[in-house]
Amino acid sequence: MTAAVASAAAVRLGVLDVHGDIEQTVELAPLADRLGYTRYWIAEHPPQPSPLLVAAIVAGLTERIRVGTAGVLLHYYPPLRTAHDFQFLDRVFGGRIDAGFCPGIARSELAEPDRDGRDLSALIAAYDERAARLVRHLRNAPGAPDHDPTTAWTGRASSPIEIWSLGGARSGELAAALDLRFGYALLFRTSVDDPSAALRYRERCPHPYAVVAVAGVCAETDAAAEAIARAAPSPSFEARIVGSPARCRAALADLAARYAADEVVFADLCPPADRARCYELLASASS
């Protein structure tokens, strides 16, 4: 698909798992792999294990689909160690790993132990510099112009890992400056529907590739999907794509076109019993 437009007949579609339910994840990830989704991303919403651990399990259960984090909360992660962990997974799983990071902040009672006494305001102020360090370590390979053998993991894969800056407009600016892939987060209740952020990224990034992440519900009929969405509204996520496969197909195509997105990554807001069917229906809608 070209970078500019996604047609209603063929929206490239990935999965964003925001539920933190590992028992369901190990069932849904192989299903998403079989259904032809492009990627399976694991969100980080503490308290939970590191999404890197979950990504390792998902990658081990799948064969084709790309697997990644959406994304690690970089304020609480050491850039060098995190880069080596991503590189290890990418080598083990044949170049299928997406290294996604974001500037999210955990609740204070959860984040305090991971800060280990470091000042949060100082970490936030240093975010761009920490992101640049993570990217530098991820790209630290023999033959790179600034290769540093003293910090490079000697077992890293030979091909470059996909690196994703995830979030809003600021994350897009960082992605453009560092020549990264960009994921615009439109799934939260606080998210701003701002296609210009993605368009600015595309204009400024040397090698742009963008996705937009959105949440919703797909069911057999529009009425059934709306009923599911009303029954258990999420306090954090907004269901922007709700309906039958036909309605979802049109909405996904419109969203991809407005954001000039190469792909859409979908977070289902279904109860556990309806999640598998939601992904089956969405796969039929996007093919």
Task: Write a three-state SS string for the chain.
Answer: CCCCCCECCECCEEEEECCCCHHHHHHHHHHHHHHCCCEEEECCCCCCCCHHHHHHHHHHHCCCCEEEECCEEHHHCCHHHHHHHHHHHHHHCCCCEEEEEECCCCCHHHHHHHHCCCCHHHHHHCHHHHHHHHHHHHCCCCCCCCCCCCCCCCCCCCCCCEEEEEECHHHHHHHHHHCCEEEEECCECCCCCCHHHHHHHHHHCCCCCEEEEEEEEECCCHHHHHHHHHHCCCCCECEEEEECHHHHHHHHHHHHHHCCCCEEEEEECCCHHHHHHHHHHHHHHHC
| Residue 6, in any domain of the structure | no
The domain tally of the chain equals 1
| Residue 211, in any domain of the structure | yes
> Residue 2 pLDDT > 70, yes or no?
no
Confidence of residue 7 (pLDDT cuts 50, 70, 90): very low
pLDDT digit string (tens) for 55-103? 999 999 999 999 999 999 998 899 999 999 999 999 999 999 999 999 9
| Residue 23, in any domain of the structure | yes
pLDDT score recorded for residue 120: 76
pLDDT score recorded for residue 286: 61
| Residue 4, in any domain of the structure | no
Asked whether the CA dihedral 161, 162, 165, 167 is positive or negative, the reply is negative
Cα–Cα distance for residue pair 198/194, rounded to 1 Å: 8
| Residue 49, in any domain of the structure | yes
> Residue 47 pLDDT > 90, yes or no?
no
pLDDT score recorded for residue 214: 98
| Residue 5, in any domain of the structure | no
pLDDT digit string (tens) for 201-237? 999 999 999 999 999 999 999 999 999 999 989 999 9
> Residue 4 pLDDT > 50, yes or no?
no
pLDDT score recorded for residue 158: 65
- Residue 122 token pair: 């100082």
| Residue 7, in any domain of the structure | no
Cα–Cα distance for residue pair 198/178, rounded to 1 Å: 15
| Residue 118, in any domain of the structure | yes
pLDDT digit string (tens) for 99-153? 999 998 876 555 565 656 677 788 889 999 999 999 999 999 777 778 888 888 8
> Residue 8 pLDDT > 50, yes or no?
no
At which residue do the structure tokens 């992101």 appear? 131
pLDDT score recorded for residue 145: 78
> Residue 287 pLDDT > 60, yes or no?
no
- What radius of gyration, in Å, describes the C-alpha atoms of the chain? 18
- Share the mean pLDDT of the chain: 90
Domain containing 70 — which CATH number? Answer: 3.20.20.30
Write out the residue range of the structural domain in which residue 222 sits: 13-286
> Residue 10 pLDDT > 50, yes or no?
yes
On the question of a cis peptide bond just before residue 272, with omega within 30 degrees of 0, the verdict is no
**Whole-prediction pTM:** 0.92
